[in-house]
Amino acid sequence: MESPAVYSLFFLKENAFFDEGTLVELEAASVSLASLDPTSDQPFNTVPPEHFETYGYRLPDRGDGIPGFVETDAVIPCPPFAENVPPGRCPVKITYTRVLDDADPAFDDNPNCLGIFGISLVENLHWQKIVVPLPRRFPEIRNVTLVDTLRKFEVDSYEKPAVEIVAGEAAYSLHIGHVGPGFYEMDMRLERGRHLRLRFIKFFPPEFTGRYEAIKHSAPSSKTPGRQSDSMPVNLYHSHSEDRPSYEFPIEMVNKALEFATEWGPNFRKPINERMLGVYPDLKDDEIARLKTIADDAENFILDLAERELRGEITEYDIVPMARERFAWIEETQLNRIKNIGMFWARK
């Protein structure tokens, strides 16, 4: 049985496609440059001999919508992150927009041939979406699919999707704020076999790519950490258990203490002992007291960040990364909930 693919994070050194320090996730298994040529296993192929000796990683998109290759010595392995990657903060680059035809494989034209002009990215605090303006009497959109081209995984599929009105004109909006960093392809199926194909890349936010210099100057790792393909291609990148730091208590237990300590409603600011014992009956009083102290420290730190945000010292988007750097064990839902509570109280 074929082993599942494993994926790893890599920083790109100086290269022809992206800025130095760009962070990408690629399939961890290196391949020869020759293997990218479909004729490489044929006896009369025209692949240069040196391509069989050059190893690296498949690049789903070079930044121009075309697949490529990056050599092994042009990347630096990056350890997995303990924190979540906020998908709505990932910079987006549209790399390819073409109209194709199932009946004519040679047909390859600009979207202008369908009357589509000015495909754009629209983003704000609430969404990220790619807007495709549609001319009058545009053919019916039969379905739209979004595929992760690294894993060849269908992320979304919409049958006869709705058309929106944007700036007074009809448009189709592909919402992408929920998908994490990666390489993607949208396929919009129309009548008579025509389809609009669009490719884009979602890059890691600056707080992740900013770690390049520190890793660049650290000693190289002898092992490239990776994730198997059965982990969903979303926005979570967790360290493997052997890479996680050790904690005084299990992470689930500390998060439960934080949940109880910050609970609203009838239990607001009440002792957490009884509720903790209901979940963990073997806990001792001094252990619960210690868990409460850890929870209070985390809550107070996040509330203080919310106060700093109100004063203009940091932005709302700084709160989660700064809290995550200090308290890496906090679950994402907990962290966002307490951030929202903090911002609420800061404005009271």
Strands 169-175 and 164-166: antiparallel
- CA 333, 128, 88: angle at the middle one, nearest 5? 30
Strands 6-12 and 92-101: unpaired
- CA 148, 210, 227: angle at the middle one, nearest 5? 40
Q: Give the C-alpha separation, 307 to 65, whole Å.
A: 44
Average pLDDT over residues 100-106: 87
pLDDT beyond 60 at 220: no
The set of residues, in sequence order, having a beta carbon less than 8 Å from that of 59 and lying 6+ positions away, is 17, 24, 26, 67, 68, 69, 70
pLDDT band for position 44 (cuts 50, 70, 90)? low
Nearest alpha-carbon partner for 306 in 315, 297, 298: 315
pLDDT beyond 80 at 41: no
pLDDT at residue 20, as a whole number: 93
The 10 Å Cβ neighbour count of residue 50 is: 9
pLDDT at residue 110, as a whole number: 86
**Of 191-205, 212-226, 230-244, 327-341, minimum mean pLDDT range:** 230-244
Q: Give the C-alpha separation, 185 to 326, whole Å.
A: 36
pLDDT beyond 60 at 198: yes
**Of 5-9, 27-31, 226-230, 249-253, minimum mean pLDDT range:** 226-230
Residue identified by tokens 């009058």 is 136
- The domain defined by 87-202 folds into Immunoglobulin-like (2.60.40)
pLDDT digits (tens, 9 = 90+) for 2-25: 567 788 999 999 888 899 999 999
Cα distances (angstroms) measured from residue 177 to each of 124, 276, 283: 10, 36, 41
HEC readout, the chain = CCCCCEEEEEEECCCCCCCCCCEEEEECCCEEHHHHCCCCCCCCCCCCHHHHCCEEEEECCCCCCCCEEEEHHHEEEECCCCCECCHHHCCEEEEEEEEEECCCCCCEECHHHHCCCCCEEEECCCCEEEEEECCCCCCCCCEEEEEECCCCEEEEEEECCCCEEECCEEEEEEECCCCCCEEEEEEEECHHHEEEEEEEEECCCHHHHCCHHHHHCCCCCCCCCCEECCCCCCCECCCCHHHCCCCCCCHHHHHHHHHHHCCCHHHCCCCCHHHHHHHCCCCCHHHHHHHHHHHHHHHHHHHHHHHHHHCCCCCHHHHHHHHHHHCCCCCHHHHHHHHHHHHHHHCC
pLDDT beyond 70 at 66: yes
Cα 7 from chain centre: 13
The set of residues, in sequence order, having a beta carbon less than 8 Å from that of 82 and lying 6+ positions away, is 238, 239, 244, 245, 324, 328
Give whichever of 44-48, 205-209, 231-235, 302-306 has the largest mean pLDDT: 302-306
What ranges do the domains of the chain cover?
6-80+207-238, 87-202, 245-346
